[in-house]
Amino acid sequence: MNLLTTRTLRRALFYLLVIATIAILNFPVYWMFNTSLAPTNQLRAFPPRFVQADPYWGAYEKVLTERPIDVWLKNSAIIAIVSTTISMIASVLAGYSLSRIRARGSQAIGVFILTSRMLPSTLIVIPLFVMFRRLDLIGDMRSVIVAHATFITPFAVWMLKGYFDSIPVELEDAAMIDGCNPLSALVRVVLPISAPGLAATALYGFVLSWNDFIFARTFLTVAQNNWTVTIGITTLRGEYLTAWNEIMAASLIASVIA
């Protein structure tokens, strides 16, 4: 009886710990939602209100009607999807080559690719700006797509190389005995097995592109129709007044859609 009670107590404590952890991790999201419902004159109320007694939905109405947030979201989605697609195509081929081709210097190439991912975006934004200006791409979403692809690809290559390393080479050898060449073995055998790794890598690339601010802010023009959602949200901050409820509303919409 005592043993059963002890196990029940441990299980209850475990579930309480899990619930507390989930609550702590999701509290910022709840606070965004709570702030978005606060009236403008109560944004700096003290003590802070954890539950709005009289929710104010005007912030969502202003964001959805007075700002072209739908255009911003569409631009962010186009840039993220296209840049992730380009990065995945290049990363699959490069990662597979580094995993299967055992040539002198292949390990050094992999380390160099990973090291290039560690460069801060502020270090490469100026060379990219000069290059895009000469190509007359400033103000064009293609410049941001290329910039995101160059920033996503190095880490994606390293992630996929590690995943390809875990797949037995014998599977490809068997496919080649049946008449496949290396490329068709990759497409027909390796990629279906690598679906979880491909999905995780693509999700990482999409989120990285969706959350980018510095490249979009540098390469896109002042016209609102070219902005991404991260740029648009920053414009909700005024010179003398910051409507935090509108900022939180727009951020929550962008987070839910992403």
**Partners of 237 in beta bridges:** 242
Task: Provide the whole-model pTM.
Answer: 0.81
Q: How far apart are CA 189 and CA 192, in angstroms?
A: 6
Mark whether 94 and 48 lie in a shared domain.
no
CA-based radius of gyration for the chain: 24
Tokens 């991790």 appear where? Answer: 25
Q: Give the phi and the psi of residue 134 in degrees, each rounded to 5.
A: -70, -30
- Rounded to whole angstroms, how far apart are CA atoms 93 and 97? 6
**CA–CA distances in Å: residue 132 to residues 128, 148, 158, 208, 219:** 6, 13, 27, 21, 8
Residue 241 in domain: no
Q: Does the residue 243 lie in any domain?
A: no
Q: Which residue, of 64, 95, 118, is where some domain finishes?
A: 64
Claim to verify: residue 58 and residue 85 sit in the same structural domain: no
Cα gap 27→247, rounded to integer Å = 17
Asked, for residue 237, whether it belongs to a domain, the answer is: no
pLDDT at 105: 63
Q: Please check the confidence at residue 258 and state whether its pLDDT lies above 90.
A: no
* Cis peptide, bond prior to residue 192, ω within 30 of zero: no
Examine residue 149 and state whether it is found in any structural domain, yes or no.
yes
Does 72 map to a domain? no
Residues 213 and 141 in one domain: yes
Q: Are residues 56 and 132 in the same domain?
A: no
Query: What would the mean pLDDT of 64-74 be, rounded to a whole number?
Result: 87
Query: Are residue 59 and residue 15 in the same domain, yes or no?
Result: yes
- Structural domain tally of the chain? 2
d(CA 233, CA 242): 11
pLDDT tens digit sequence for 14-63: 889 999 999 898 888 888 888 888 877 676 767 777 777 778 888 888 88
Q: Which domain holds residue 97?
A: 79-226
Residue at 240 is within a domain: no
CA distances from 218 to 125, 153, 227 (A): 8, 20, 11
Q: What CATH code is carried by the domain that includes residue 119?
A: 1.10.3720.10
